Amino acid sequence: MSEVKKTELGQLGEFGLIHHLTDNIKLKHPATIKGVGDDAAVLDFSDKKTVVTTDLLLEGIHFDLTYTPLKHLGYKAVVVNVSDVYAMNATPKQITVSLGLSSKMSVEALDELYEGIYAACDYYNVDLVGGDTSSSLTGLTISVTAMGEADASKLTYRNGAKPNDLICVSGDLGGAYMGLQLLEREKRVYSDNPGVQPDLSGYDYILGRQLKPEARKEVTELLQKLEVVPTAMIDISDGLSSELIHICSQSKTGCRVYENKIPIDPTTAMLAEEMGINPLVTALNGGEDYELLFTISQSDYEKFKDAGDVNIYIIGHITEESKGSYLVTNADQEVELQAQGWNPLKNKQ
């Protein structure tokens, strides 16, 4: 058995490490005037508006390295940020990546993480323009900031939804949450019986939703093509309920969404039932699906006939604020939406 090469981070030193990780960056955008290598990156957004967003990923909270391949983790760290840029109806252009690294991490492991970061930069057509690399006494820390640009007239906030607007979602929900449940279950089985191989067969789709999510760039491209500017938009990172409540509270509206309209993949539903979880709950409160949730004027509805390959699901409509925010079940009951989210700050019971 050949040994995996492990170069200690200390062998390269801080500046050596930065060179090692960033020397091969090829900038994609003329608007990226200066990338890595000075006190700050320099960007030119000229006549466009700039959007900026940031997300922090911490070991033990947002990811578990026992079952998360580092390449996927690097990819996902970029995805969760560009997803926020798309949710503004903007186009991502640049990112910065800061890392806190424990000394037990090897250069080769870090290279895998960066392989994922660079793969995402290529797929989403963004330039890596800066960052900060530090040691960490504890786990791996990843902080990404993404910048993007948009015409002022296309920017889409959370606060523009109007009564009678249609509520749209760009893909099925709950898969990422069930992927996480599956990985956690198999981790427990493995820790009880280290001889047993994890049984993940047949679940590629939902594992992919958890481990290698994609941001929905084709949706913002479609909106561009169809010349539709949504009245409000948000990405689904905390679960449908929570994001609907964000839109309704910022837009000062209510909403009705219908159980039978909410897209849930059959694998998600099957595994949820096997594990005694109501599939609807995974869609409402699961989170991390990174689909886009947006509202459109009824007058734009016809345009979506030319949506082509991109599936857009209409799951309900916006109401007056006084009518509240409710899910209408298949039994025609109204259940008030709750902003559960992940609330990772809540003490474990």
Is 55 marked as a binding-site residue? Answer: yes
Non-local (6+) Cβ contacts of 41 within 8 A are 32, 34, 35, 94, 96, 129, 130
- Report 123-182 residues binding its own copies (CB under 8 A): 129-139, 141, 143, 145-148, 155, 157-159
> What is the smallest separation between the CB atom of 144 and its own copies, expressed in angstroms?
9
> What is the smallest separation between the CB atom of 91 and its own copies, expressed in angstroms?
12
- Report 277-336 residues binding its own copies (CB under 8 A): none
Is 238 marked as a binding-site residue? Answer: yes
The dihedral formed by the CA atoms of 174, 169, 216 and 295, expressed in degrees to the nearest 10: -140
Please calculate the CA angle 122-99-10 and round it to the nearest 5 degrees: 110
If binding is defined by CB under 8 A, does position 345 make contact with its own copies?
yes
Cα Rg of the chain, angstroms: 21
If binding is defined by CB under 8 A, does position 104 make contact with its own copies?
no
- Report 228-247 residues binding its own copies (CB under 8 A): 233-235
> What is the smallest separation between the CB atom of 14 and its own copies, expressed in angstroms?
5
If binding is defined by CB under 8 A, does position 192 make contact with its own copies?
no
Cβ atoms 97, 149 nearer than 8 A: no
Closest by CA to 212, choosing from 145, 272, 290, 138, is 290
Instruction: Answer positive or negative: Cα dihedral of 71, 75, 80, 81.
Output: positive
State how far the Cα of 237 lies from the Cα of 286, in Å rounded to an integer: 9
Nearer to its own copies, 60 or 266 (CB): 60
- Report 30-69 residues binding its own copies (CB under 8 A): 33-34, 37-47, 49-56, 58-62
Nearer to its own copies, 136 or 297 (CB): 136
The pattern of x and - marking residues 74 through 93 that bind its own copies according to CB under 8 A reads ---------xxx-xx-x---
> What is the smallest separation between the CB atom of 16 and its own copies, expressed in angstroms?
9
State how far the Cα of 179 lies from the Cα of 198, in Å rounded to an integer: 13
Backbone φ, ψ for residue 118 (5° rounding): -70, -35
Nearer to its own copies, 305 or 346 (CB): 346
If binding is defined by CB under 8 A, does position 94 make contact with its own copies?
yes
State how far the Cα of 315 lies from the Cα of 337, in Å rounded to an integer: 14
| Contact with its own copies (CB under 8 A) among 70, 77, 101, 229 | 101
| Contact with its own copies (CB under 8 A) among 6, 8, 221, 273 | 8
State how far the Cα of 71 lies from the Cα of 120, in Å rounded to an integer: 10
Backbone φ, ψ for residue 264 (5° rounding): -130, 130
Binding residue numbers: 39, 53-55, 62, 84, 114, 131-132, 158, 235, 237-238, 288, 342
